[in-house]
Amino acid sequence: MSAQVSPIDEVKSTPWSGGRSPFNVEYGKMMMWFFLLSDAFTFSSLLIAYGALRFSSNSWPAPDLVFQSVPGLIEHGAPLVFVGLMTFILILSSVTMVLAVEAGHRMAKKEVVKWMIFTIIGGFTFLGCQALEWTHLHSEGFWWSSIPTDLTEYFHKGAPLSTTYTHQFANLFFTITGFHGFHVFSGVIINIIITINVLLGTYQKRGSYLMIEKVGLYWHFVDLVWVFVFTFFYLV
Amino acid sequence: MSSEPTDAHAEHGEHEGMTKKRIVAIFLYLLGITVVEFIIALWLVPTGYIPIQYANPIYIVLTLFKAFLIVAYFMHLKFEKIGLALAIIVPILFIIGLILVLTNESHYWVDLRV
């Protein structure tokens, strides 16, 4: 028998020749990516609808006038300070999540637990801040289909006051930040469940901390959405 | 069944992309970009150095750059197989279509409202 193998009998080893995942990721992680893709479409639909309504309006409540307080500390004249703090907290909790994933690669259970707990604290702090912000806006009269009676302080000088567009702003703001906050909340719950599993030694037994990566993807996505919400509600 | 742990293990080779140093570097980039956005919003626009119609595209470019940093490094997509990266990024391009359609639609709404 000659040692030569005819081309047709050669075992192919390219990514797409079968027998293994061409993407080289575990099933659950790939499905998490596709879930996040669908969620990205949901959030972009909401944000693009907001954009279309806002750009077809002739006057819109000015973000630096609507969001100019730090609840409980400064009532007026501190535009974007509180939301800046919220953004910082969420980015920081994203960083602690990457550190948890990194510790997972080294199979360092204690470090994973430590960073996961920091991530959960970050998530709860963000939710607390959002609750304060909502309460503050609610106390001024903003809510779903509800706006303050005096609108002068929410529009720049010279811009026409519009109850219609303020209604649209209030509805869109609470719907979109609420939908995002709901994602943060579910993310925190998932993080807590996974941390309990880590403490029980589930992933140590399994031989890999891949589950931390999967919930990490979700958590970063929540941060990613906030980056867009922050830009389109607070800056533009 | 038995292939799962080996699969998970085989991936470890691919995951050496993020060291602690790199994580901190990306964090500082994200923080820096946010600080730049704040400087534009709180100082450059109110004092008139940058007109608001130029500031908005700048915000959007900076936001997209932040999104790239988060997806590529924190979500690790830069270090995955190109097939997976394309499977996620190419469908995102449909969003551009939605933006174009609704921008066009919003022009029509302006006419309706007059």
DSSP letter string over A209-233? Answer: -HHHHHHHHHHHHHHHHHHHHIIII
Contact A55 B76 (CB under 8 A): no
CB A229 within 8 A of CB B66: no
What is the residue extent of each domain of chain A? 25-235
Give the C-alpha separation, A217 to A207, whole Å: 20
Give the C-alpha separation, B87 to B89, whole Å: 6
From the list A231, A219, A137, the residue with the least C-alpha distance to B33 is: A231
CB A95 within 8 A of CB B70: no
| Owner of token pair 């450059």 | B44
**Which percentage of chain B shows pLDDT scores above 90?**
56
- B49 to chain A, minimum CA–CA distance in Å? 16
Interface of A with B in 203-232 (CB under 8 A): 206-208, 210, 213, 216-217, 220-221, 223-224, 227-228, 231
What's the token pair of residue B73?
């490094």
Could you give the C-alpha distances from B47 to A81, A162, B75, in angstroms and in order? Answer: 18, 26, 38
- A138 to chain B, minimum CA–CA distance in Å? 25
- Residues in chain A within 8 Å Cβ distance of B84: 23-25, 30, 33
Query: Using one digit for the tens of pLDDT, what is the confidence trace for B66-107?
Result: 999 999 999 999 899 898 999 999 999 999 999 999 999 998
pLDDT at A205: 94
Residue of A51, A64, A220 lying closest to B75 (CB–CB): A220
Element (H, E) at A42: helix A27-55
- Residue B16 CB-density burial (10 A; 0-12 exposed, 13-18 middle, 19+ buried): exposed
Contact A55 B106 (CB under 8 A): yes
Task: Indicate if ipTM > 0.85.
Answer: yes
- B98 to chain A, minimum CA–CA distance in Å? 8
| Owner of token pair 């929410």 | A154
pLDDT at A17: 80
- Residue A85 CB-density burial (10 A; 0-12 exposed, 13-18 middle, 19+ buried): middle
Check whether B114 has a pLDDT greater than 70.
no
- Ranking A49-53, A66-70, A144-148, A213-217 by mean pLDDT, the lowest is A66-70
Check whether B12 has a pLDDT greater than 60.
no
Could you give the C-alpha distances from A142 to A50, A71, A147, A156, in angstroms and in order? Answer: 17, 15, 5, 18
Class of domain A25-235: mainly alpha
Contact B113 A95 (CB under 8 A): no
Check whether B7 has a pLDDT greater than 80.
no
pLDDT at B13: 44
